[in-house]
Amino acid sequence: MENKDKYKADIEAIIAKRYDNGWDYWTTSDKRLGKGGAFSTLSSVFLLNELGVKKSDELLLQTVELIFGCQRQDGRFKLSPQGAIYPCHTINALNVLCNLGYAEDERLKKTFKHLLEIQHDDGGWKCNKFSYGRGPETECSNPGPTLAALNAFRFTGYLNKNPKLDKGVEFLLDHWVIRKPIGPCHYGIGSLFMQVEYPFETYNLFYYVYVLSFYDRAKEDKRFLEALFTLESKMQDGKIVVERINRKLKDLSFCKKGEPSALGTQRYHELKSNL
């Protein structure tokens, strides 16, 4: 409640955009839940949760049911009426629902089962969509969706008990060494990755260290500790300073570019407590 009161203006600004994509709940008239970038259905409810809006809030309850309405019988989520269903679509919906407190919801059991069944040989998750053409690097999983999947699984009893997840952790730790763009969507570890981004949205240093801090497989690993050291070297007076942000969020107070973020620093303290 303290965060909700402190960030009331930010919450109101996000809610004010709920009709901007043509329908209610930040979506379009044909219910494309990923449309709108930082203010899509999925992103908006994630932001509201981060700002302290309780999952019992009526608006969040209604939006959650809209998301569940896109779930297929096999556990996948179809986020738009047209086109293929890619693993990243399912992962993104699952990740948001888990962050909102629905990891134990009976409806998600089949989604977790599905993701474990389609896990790639290298431990990650990949979509068979080759926007950059095909090459040896596209045989690898996509690090970004893999990180989001591990973030969802950390809310479950699978955490630190399922070796398949440890394999996913190892895949991401390997990427810290490889650095080069891999996967069909060419996720790399370069200058953009190293810029601290908050709130968590894309594959970046802060999100990477935060998620891996929940996994025992990573906590004492040299690669993880190097990434953590890099993150901490960018902090100022013990606070997380936002270096990169989605431009649509630039007017929100909780994540101002170039300024310390109290909520981002709370996430940092959470990852340190994991260790």
Q: What is the pLDDT of residues 84-142, one digit of tens each?
A: 899 999 999 999 999 999 999 999 999 999 999 999 999 999 988 777 667 788 999 99
- Cα separation, 132 vs 240, in Å, equals 34
Q: How large is the angle between the packed helices 143-153 and 87-99, nearest 10 degrees? A: 40
Asked if residue 22 is part of any domain, the answer here is yes
Please compute the mean of the pLDDT values over residues 223-249 and round it to a whole number.
97
Q: Is the pLDDT of residue 1 over 50?
A: no
Listing DSSP states for 19-30 in one string gives: TTTSSSTT--TT
Asked if residue 193 is part of any domain, the answer here is yes
Q: What is the pLDDT of residues 26-76, one digit of tens each?
A: 999 999 999 999 999 999 999 999 999 999 999 999 999 999 999 999 999
For residue 5, the model assigns a pLDDT of 74
Beta bridge pairs of residue 33 = none
Listing DSSP states for 165-227 in one string gives: HHHHHHHHHHHHHH-S-BTTTTB--SHHHHS-BSSS-SS-HHHHHHHHTT-HHHHT-HHHHHH
| Residue 89 sits in the same domain as residue 176 | no
**Predicted TM-score (pTM) above 0.85:** yes
Host domain of residue 194? 137-275
Q: How large is the angle between the packed helices 58-68 and 41-50, nearest 10 degrees? A: 140
DSSP state of 71: B
Choosing from 118, 152, 182, the residue where a domain stops is: 118
